Amino acid sequence: MTDYERIEQLIRYLDQHRHEQPILSTLAQQIQLSPHHLHRLFSRWAGITPKSFLQSLTVAHAKQLLEQGKSVLDASLDVGLSGPSRLHDLCVTLEAASPGEIKLQGANWTINAGFADSPFGACLIATGPRGICHLSFVETRNQQAASAAIRSDWKLANIHWDDGFAKEWADQIFATDPVSSREPLKAFVQGTEFQVRVWRALLQIPQGAVVSYGQVAETVGSRKASRAVGSAVGQNRLGYLIPCHRVIRETGVLGDYRWGSERKKSMLAWETAAKSASANEVASL
């Protein structure tokens, strides 16, 4: 069992038993580790205690983030920035395929693809001549299934497999060093004009913040298009890179996620912990 699988199992247990406020020894029993080992593992992964992590899974916390997220998102868009103080976040340049490129379906392209570990489990990463064109989370490292996922967008592309290459990309995508020290990541997608507008809006949501589907709809100029926004969010091919996990329901309920609700919860709590750690570092200066 990998560290992420242990964390995922623990998140599921915490979510189901949050009203009981389970103690550390009880949590350790769930993943068959000693309390000391669990504390070390969890702190290394999330940067906070299991109790603090549990608080970040509550509806009350999500609602608070929603209130913060709207003002932060508006401010980011007003000044044309991808988000304020994103010390542990990504800087992504998103380009959309032209109608001609979509029609060619990746003909004469070589897409480099491979599997890599991430803080949220195994992932599949693929890059083409214009940038990262696929990022998903997988349960098994099956090349046949992965090829089908990539070719759902780029049917005629040649796929070259290289896990070492994918690891190099994963190290950049999931890095926690300040974004200013790295080159912007280039992403390349195909989608309708509306979908691309939604995905670009998602890139404006800072780490540690969440917004509702309605807020995204308002941002893209279609105030009553929450359902269409939800559909566009669900069609995102670049998991984590385009942060669709930061969109939740108006009620504060985190909702479903294409790659599993536990993974969505772990991403949000992990980012909240990173944001809190950054704030504490600044406060201590």
Nearest in space to 254 (alpha carbons), one of 57, 29, 9: 57
Backbone angles phi, psi at 44, to 5 degrees: -65, -40
Handedness of CA 83, 87, 90, 93 (dihedral sign): positive
Is the Cβ–Cβ distance between 104 and 190 less than 8 Å?
A: no
Predicted confidence at residue 176, as pLDDT, reads: 63
Residues forming a β-bridge with 127: 112, 132
CATH for 63-248, options being 3.40.50.620, 1.10.10.10, 3.40.225.10, 1.10.260.40:
1.10.10.10
Is 244 labeled as catalytic in the residue annotation?
Answer: yes
What DSSP element (H or E) covers 7? Answer: helix 3-16
> Where exactly are the structural domains of the chain?
1-47, 63-248
Strands (E), the chain: 92-96, 110-118, 121-128, 131-137, 158-161, 185-189, 211-212, 247-248
CA-based angle 259:260:264, to the nearest 5?
Answer: 90
Please list, residue by residue across 17-35, b when 16 or more beta carbons sit within 10 angstroms of its beta carbon and e when fewer do. eeeeebebeebbebbebee
Distance CA 199, CA 133 (A): 13
Marked catalytic residue, from 91, 123, 133, 244: 244
Q: What is the pLDDT of residues 127-142, one digit of tens each?
A: 999 999 999 999 999 9
Q: What is the C-alpha to C-alpha distance for residues 247 and 73, in angstroms, rounded to an integer?
A: 12
Sheet holding 131-137, edge to edge: 92-96, 185-189, 131-137, 121-128, 110-118, 158-161
Q: Please, what is the Cα angle at 70 between 18 and 205, to 5 degrees?
A: 80
Q: Where are the beta strands (DSSP E) in 140-184?
A: 158-161
Question: In the chain, which stretches have pLDDT less than 70?
Answer: 46-48, 55-65, 67-90, 176-182, 274-285
